[in-house]
Amino acid sequence: MNLLDSIWLIPLFPLLGAVVMLLVGKRLDPQAPSQVALAPGVANLPVEDPAHGHGAAPKHGHGHANQGGFGKALISLFCPGMVLLSFLLSAGAVWQLAGRPEKVHEVIKYTWLAGLPFATSSGAAARFAADWGFLLDPLSGVMILVVTGVGFVIHVYSIGYMAHDGGYYRFFGYLNLFIFFMLMLVLANNFALLFVGWEGVGLCSYLLIGFYFHKKSAGDAGNKAFIVNRIGDSSFILGMLLVFATFGTARFLEINQMAASGRFATETAGFGIMTIIALLLFGGATGKSAQIPLYVWLPDAMEGPTPVSALIHAATMVTAGVYMVARSAAIYQLAPNASMIVAVIGCLTAIVAASIALVQNDIKRVLAYSTVSQLGYMFVAAGVGAYWVAIFHLYTHAFFKALLFLGSGSVIHALGGEQDMRHMGGLKARIPITHWTMFIGSLAIAGIPGFAGFFSKDEILWQAYSSPLGSQLLFWMGLVTAGMTAFYMWRMMHMTFYGESRVAPERAAHIHESPPVMTVPLMVLALGSVFAGWIGVPKLWSAFPESFRAFEHWLGPMFAAESAHAGAEHAHSASTEWLLMLLSVATALAGIALARYMYHWNRKAPDAVAASLPGMHRTLANLWYVDKFYGWLFVDGLAKGGGEAMGQFDNTVVDGGVNGTGWLTRLTSSLSIWWDTWIVDGAVRLTGFLVKVLSYPARLLQTGSVQAYALIFVLGVVLLFAYYLSY
């Protein structure tokens, strides 16, 4: 069976799931509407602290049996099942692709945009056309496996996590819809279709962030995500149209071919068309992938249910920007300046987000900023031309970040909705599976050798250092970020799992490990976090055979033309690479040790540090004032001030115009009245007056007296007689 020609089916399974859920799901889960209507406090524990309360937390102590009955069980089977089918089909298709010499397969189903003719900027005739076409190559192969694989695991987890929440069918419908759009995004064979998926995942993100729509903060967060993403998307649209105008097509294969053909010069200086395209596309990526300056929506997106945070806002959707940049690698290759900007922005984002994560107290927000930071790493890799490394980190990150989020969800679940780490602690013994899996995830993200994150992060740092597009500065900033990553992860682990318990007493009695439907996904992802990296072992570890470097062999050839630094790695000696690797491991260990010291041995240290660096601490606690600045500039300044200015404009100019028109109308109408009264009416009345005056003598004849008439009559007869007789 040739699965490669069936790749267009892959997105259709989740679409089917979504359509069924959103059309008939309500009937399957009849208790849903009343539950949705409940206030979050009602659905949760009575001790719910409104400041930290989280509607996501399932009711505690009600057991974990599927209470919804048959319909709910059907949903629980159907929706994850659809994703599983997608995953199996994806795996089969990728397997068949791997067996082929030509690792590109394109399936074009239908013409979508029939195409208006136009001339490209170079004068060639082209059509504004796009197809429902699907492209499977090593890059999209990795992506669909990550999306459907991690997506399936998170679907399974959600069965347990969302079991007691209202809107069960809605949640799964949205999740399936998201998977559908994400698969459209990564399987699209042209920019226009990619954009459909791009917008679709944004929509699902909005819907799921605002899943607890009765909570104002959730609705606001959804709006924020949607609006901030629109800014990026507008940039993406411009970039896409510029691609059309320049290349005359939106098909990736044709674009890559043309870009590699040498028809377009590499723009080493200044802002040529390629640089502008690359920057505009990257502008879209900063929105979707939460980079400076548009990263502010991602931490707020944690208002959504935790599985959503894991799936959309950590593992898959936010990596769409990285994927898109890698997909446009041929364009970035022609614009080294733009690539440099990508790397610098990624690096800055990584370090800024990591620094904010240092002082966050909300367990999900630590992970959210960590995600922003890790996405920054991916852009560093993409910016220095190491696209396969960016995708490699995307792939490993999907495992351990999904694991960490689901683990945090399990912690929140255990504590009945508590998200503030200051009210946690000492949970290790109470929820051991969650602890151990999160421990593995933390090791992986911190970059401890042997775990997934180590391989990808080390490769990024090495590429940042050694690539011709890289620089020592990028490396050192990445290294600092790695240290901070290790620190904040262990800070989180200590505040959550170790030390004495600071859990509110009324919650403490209810702490319990999550049901297997939630812990098994954790374990699966933990396995991934351990072993996923072993297909990207550094070249340096020459003891390992080449099969341990399968990832590079799989993706590398795709970007062979783009790997400008192909020979560069030889320019640096192996000892340098060993040194840098040791340095990064040492930094990670130092971060862990520091966190252990500050949050285990010397518990006064954190406050002491905060007190000795008050400005720094305040800046970090206030998120570098970026959110406040945006609030001041855009919300209060531009939106509110602009609103006031527009109000003024309305009052003076628009209303003035209206009032002026009114005044003018009144003036002309009063002139008109004068004319009517004196000229038109005057003429009419004059006529009447004249008739009245002139008719006066005639009227005298009409006396009303019959005899007077008779007299006149007789006189008339006499006159006539006289007249006739006189002849």
Partner 1 sequence: MQAIPPTYYLMVSLGLVLIGTIGLLTRRNIVIILMSIELILNAVNINLVAFSNAAGNERGQVFAIFVITVAVAEAAVGLGILIALFRNKETVLADEVELLKW
User: Which residue number, 473 or 717, has a Cβ lying nearer to partner 1?
Assistant: 717
- Residues within window 228-287 making contact with partner 1, judged by CB under 8 A: none
| Partners of residue 563 on adjacent β-strands | none
Q: Which span (188-196, 346-354, 635-643, 696-704) binds partner 1, by CB under 8 A?
A: 696-704
| Minimum distance from residue 709 beta carbon to partner 1 (Å) | 10
User: Which residue number, 61 or 697, has a Cβ lying nearer to partner 1?
Assistant: 697
The Cα 174–Cα 373 span in angstroms is 27
Q: Which two tokens stand for residue 129?
A: 């056309």
User: Which residue number, 639 or 715, has a Cβ lying nearer to partner 1?
Assistant: 715
User: Which residue number, 648 or 695, has a Cβ lying nearer to partner 1?
Assistant: 695
Question: According to the binding rule CB under 8 A, does residue 573 interact with partner 1?
Answer: no
**Greatest Cα pair distance in the chain:** 159
- CB 187, CB 134: distance < 8 Å: yes
User: Which residue number, 543 or 698, has a Cβ lying nearer to partner 1?
Assistant: 698
- CB 501, CB 431: distance < 8 Å: no
For CA atoms 536, 540, 541, 542, the dihedral sign is positive
Query: Which position among 703, 716, 720, 721 is part of the footprint of partner 1 (CB under 8 A)?
Result: 703
Question: According to the binding rule CB under 8 A, does residue 710 interact with partner 1?
Answer: yes
| Minimum distance from residue 664 beta carbon to partner 1 (Å) | 49
| Minimum distance from residue 698 beta carbon to partner 1 (Å) | 9
Contact pattern from residue 646 through residue 685 relative to partner 1, giving x for each residue in contact according to CB under 8 A and a dash for the rest: ----------------------------------------
Cβ within 8 Å of residue 367, ≥6 positions away: 302, 309, 314, 401, 404, 405, 408, 492
Question: According to the binding rule CB under 8 A, does residue 697 interact with partner 1?
Answer: no
Query: Which position among 116, 265, 706, 722 is part of the footprint of partner 1 (CB under 8 A)?
Result: 706
| Minimum distance from residue 679 beta carbon to partner 1 (Å) | 30
The Cα 304–Cα 244 span in angstroms is 36
Q: Which span (150-158, 242-250, 446-454, 710-718) binds partner 1, by CB under 8 A?
A: 710-718
Q: Which two tokens stand for residue 565?
A: 């630094």
Q: Which span (120-128, 244-252, 422-430, 695-703) binds partner 1, by CB under 8 A?
A: 695-703
Helices (H), 162-272: 168-187, 191-209, 216-247, 252-260
User: How far is Cα of residue 193 from the mean position of the Cα atoms in its chain?
Assistant: 17
User: Could you please report the per-residue DSSP string of 123-189?
Assistant: S-EEEEEEEEEEEESHHHHHHHHHHHHHHHHHHHHHHHHTTTSS-HHHHHHHHHHHHHHHHHHHHBS
| Minimum distance from residue 694 beta carbon to partner 1 (Å) | 14
Question: According to the binding rule CB under 8 A, does residue 705 interact with partner 1?
Answer: yes
- CB 310, CB 155: distance < 8 Å: no
| Minimum distance from residue 665 beta carbon to partner 1 (Å) | 45
Question: According to the binding rule CB under 8 A, does residue 691 interact with partner 1?
Answer: no
The Cα 213–Cα 37 span in angstroms is 10
Question: According to the binding rule CB under 8 A, does residue 571 interact with partner 1?
Answer: no
| Minimum distance from residue 707 beta carbon to partner 1 (Å) | 5
User: Which residue number, 586 or 691, has a Cβ lying nearer to partner 1?
Assistant: 691
Provide the angle, in degrees to the nearest 10, between the axes of the packed helices 168-187 and 320-327: 10
- The letter for the amino acid at 5 is D
The Cβ of residue 403 has, within 10 Å, a number of other Cβ atoms equal to 32
Q: Which span (9-17, 342-350, 504-512, 697-705) binds partner 1, by CB under 8 A?
A: 697-705
Q: Which span (265-273, 462-470, 597-605, 709-717) binds partner 1, by CB under 8 A?
A: 709-717
Q: Which two tokens stand for residue 363?
A: 């367990």
- CB 411, CB 422: distance < 8 Å: no
Question: According to the binding rule CB under 8 A, does residue 714 interact with partner 1?
Answer: yes
DSSP letter for 509, please: T
| Minimum distance from residue 684 beta carbon to partner 1 (Å) | 21
Angle at 311 (CA atoms; ends 388, 183), nearest 5 degrees = 60
Q: Which span (2-10, 29-37, 360-368, 704-712) binds partner 1, by CB under 8 A?
A: 704-712
DSSP letter for 572, please: S
Cβ within 8 Å of residue 185, ≥6 positions away: 194, 196, 197, 198, 200, 201, 320, 323
User: Which residue number, 508 or 710, has a Cβ lying nearer to partner 1?
Assistant: 710
User: Which residue number, 560 or 694, has a Cβ lying nearer to partner 1?
Assistant: 694
Residue whose C-alpha is closest to residue 210's, from 219, 201, 197: 219
| Minimum distance from residue 727 beta carbon to partner 1 (Å) | 20
The Cα 469–Cα 336 span in angstroms is 8
- The letter for the amino acid at 83 is V
User: Could you please report the per-residue DSSP string of 549-570?
Assistant: GHHHHHHGGGGTTT-TTTTHHH
Going from the C-alpha of 54 to that of each of 142, 156, 178, 304, 661, the distances in angstroms are 34, 21, 23, 9, 56
User: Which residue number, 125 or 694, has a Cβ lying nearer to partner 1?
Assistant: 694
Question: According to the binding rule CB under 8 A, does residue 699 interact with partner 1?
Answer: yes
The Cβ of residue 528 has, within 10 Å, a number of other Cβ atoms equal to 24
User: Which residue number, 77 or 708, has a Cβ lying nearer to partner 1?
Assistant: 708
Question: According to the binding rule CB under 8 A, does residue 702 interact with partner 1?
Answer: yes
| Minimum distance from residue 686 beta carbon to partner 1 (Å) | 21
Question: According to the binding rule CB under 8 A, does residue 722 interact with partner 1?
Answer: no
The Cα 423–Cα 165 span in angstroms is 24
Q: Which span (160-168, 321-329, 386-394, 702-710) binds partner 1, by CB under 8 A?
A: 702-710
Question: According to the binding rule CB under 8 A, does residue 720 interact with partner 1?
Answer: no
User: Which residue number, 50 or 704, has a Cβ lying nearer to partner 1?
Assistant: 704
Question: According to the binding rule CB under 8 A, does residue 472 interact with partner 1?
Answer: no
| Minimum distance from residue 724 beta carbon to partner 1 (Å) | 16
Question: According to the binding rule CB under 8 A, does residue 707 interact with partner 1?
Answer: yes
Q: Which span (278-286, 587-595, 676-684, 705-713) binds partner 1, by CB under 8 A?
A: 705-713
| Minimum distance from residue 710 beta carbon to partner 1 (Å) | 6
| Minimum distance from residue 674 beta carbon to partner 1 (Å) | 35
User: Which residue number, 472 or 707, has a Cβ lying nearer to partner 1?
Assistant: 707
| Minimum distance from residue 699 beta carbon to partner 1 (Å) | 4
The Cα 596–Cα 602 span in angstroms is 9
| Minimum distance from residue 726 beta carbon to partner 1 (Å) | 19
User: Which residue number, 118 or 689, has a Cβ lying nearer to partner 1?
Assistant: 689
Preceding amide of 293 cis, omega within 30? yes
Task: Report how many residues bind partner 1 under the rule CB under 8 A.
Answer: 10
| Minimum distance from residue 723 beta carbon to partner 1 (Å) | 19
Provide the angle, in degrees to the nearest 10, between the axes of the packed helices 12-28 and 69-98: 180
The Cα 320–Cα 299 span in angstroms is 17
Q: Which two tokens stand for residue 98?
A: 């791997």
Helix or strand (DSSP H, E) at 108: strand 105-119
Cβ within 8 Å of residue 32, ≥6 positions away: 25, 26, 166, 167, 168, 169, 170
Query: Which position among 711, 716, 719, 721 is part of the footprint of partner 1 (CB under 8 A)?
Result: 711
- CB 551, CB 392: distance < 8 Å: yes
| Minimum distance from residue 721 beta carbon to partner 1 (Å) | 12
Q: Which two tokens stand for residue 652?
A: 């003076």
Question: According to the binding rule CB under 8 A, does residue 612 interact with partner 1?
Answer: no
User: Which residue number, 612 or 707, has a Cβ lying nearer to partner 1?
Assistant: 707
| Minimum distance from residue 713 beta carbon to partner 1 (Å) | 9
The Cα 428–Cα 443 span in angstroms is 16
Q: Applying CB under 8 A, which residues contact partner 1? A: 699, 702-707, 710-711, 714
